[in-house]
Every structure is written in C-alpha cells, then in structure tokens.
Amino acid sequence: MSGPMVLDETDERILTVLTRNARATFNEIGSVVGLSAPAVKRRVDRLVASKAIRGFTTVVDPAAMGWTTEAYVSVFCTGVVAPEVLARAWEDIPEIVSAATVTGAADAVLRVVASDVGHLERAIERIRRSGSVDHSDSVIVLSRLIERTGNGREPVEPQDS
C-alpha cells in the first residue's frame, strides 16, 4: 500500500498541530509550518496512508457520557499464552480501553471503563471467563489525575469558530 514511515521535521510539526486540534484547517496548519494548504493536505494524506496517523478523534468528558467507573485489572494466565491470542480474546469486550502484556508476575494489564460498579463487575467477569485466565487482580480508580493523548501533547481547548 505504501512505503516505510519516514517522518521529516515538517511532518512532526503537522502532527503536533493536528494532535492539539484535529479539526484545524489545512490553511491553519500551513500557516504554522510554512506551507500552502494543498501541500499540507498532501502530507496529511500521506501520513494517513502510511498509518502514521491512526485516526482523528474527539475527547469527550467521561462524566458527560455517564462512564464514571474505572479499574486497572492485572491478569494472570495459566501456562504460556501468545499476545495475539489475548488480543483476539479481548477485542470484543468494549469496556476494555487498553490492554498490554507486561513484565513481572502478571501476564497483562487492562484498563476497564464502565458506567457503574455493577457494569464493571460484569465486564471483569467476562474477562476472567475468556480463555486461559487463571486469576485477576483489580484496583478501582478513585481520582483521575492526568489524561493525555500519548505523545506528550494534549488536545487544546477548542476556540469558538
């Protein structure tokens, strides 16, 4: 589909702008990075095609959606399990916001978001029922302190249009 993923400095600056505001116009981006709008569009299209950009999304206040309960779940499996097997077992559980295999005693750490404690309990039960889980250990989130996008860059508060 497309070649390797080589980002020059202009690409990174475009990503910085788009990370702060995914709805920035090509003109706005161009005036920051010093390019014309069509030139910016070509680069953005290329970043999308090369999968460097995974998508454009909106950060919604979880409280506004009624998703107020959250937990970190450490999962311990029986025997050796391939990461791909775990990914396939869990990808259909929408309450799982992130999952990763880790070093240490646990095999994987999941982050689970639910509407209330009952909902959370059902989600964790479903996780434990999924293949080769021996046991799990959950801690419930009390306060969210920091929540960023993962590039050291946060979305910026939208301005009035």
Partner DNA sequence: TCTGAAAGATCAGGTTT
Partner DNA sequence: AAACCTGATCTTTCAGA
What residue ranges bind DNA (CB under 7 A)?
Answer: 10, 25-28, 30, 34-39, 41-43, 161
Q: Looking at 32, 37, 39, 48, which residue binds a copy of itself (CB under 8 A)? A: 48
CB of residue 160 to a copy of itself, shortest distance in Å: 7
In the block, residue with structure tokens 């107020």: 68
Amino acid (one-letter) located at 50 = S
- Could you say whether residue 152 binds a copy of itself (CB under 8 A)? yes
| Contact status, residue 109 vs residue 100, Cβ threshold 8 Å | yes
- Could you say whether residue 135 binds a copy of itself (CB under 8 A)? no
The span from the CA of 37 to the CA of 56, in Å, is 19
- Could you say whether residue 90 binds a copy of itself (CB under 8 A)? yes
CB of residue 8 to DNA, shortest distance in Å: 8
Q: Which range touches a copy of itself (CB under 8 A), out of 31-39, 127-135, 148-156? A: 148-156
Q: At 87, phi and psi to the nearest 5?
A: -60, -45
Q: Is the dihedral of CA 28, 32, 38, 40 positive or negative?
A: negative
- Could you say whether residue 113 binds a copy of itself (CB under 8 A)? yes
**In sequence order, what are the beta bridge partners of 9?**
none
CB of residue 114 to DNA, shortest distance in Å: 29
Q: 59 or 118, CB closer to a copy of itself?
A: 59
* DSSP 8-state code for residue 72: E
- Could you say whether residue 39 binds a copy of itself (CB under 8 A)? no
Q: Looking at 54, 79, 80, 129, which residue binds a copy of itself (CB under 8 A)? A: 54
- Distance (Å) of CA 63 to CA 8, 11, 68, 89: 39, 34, 6, 28
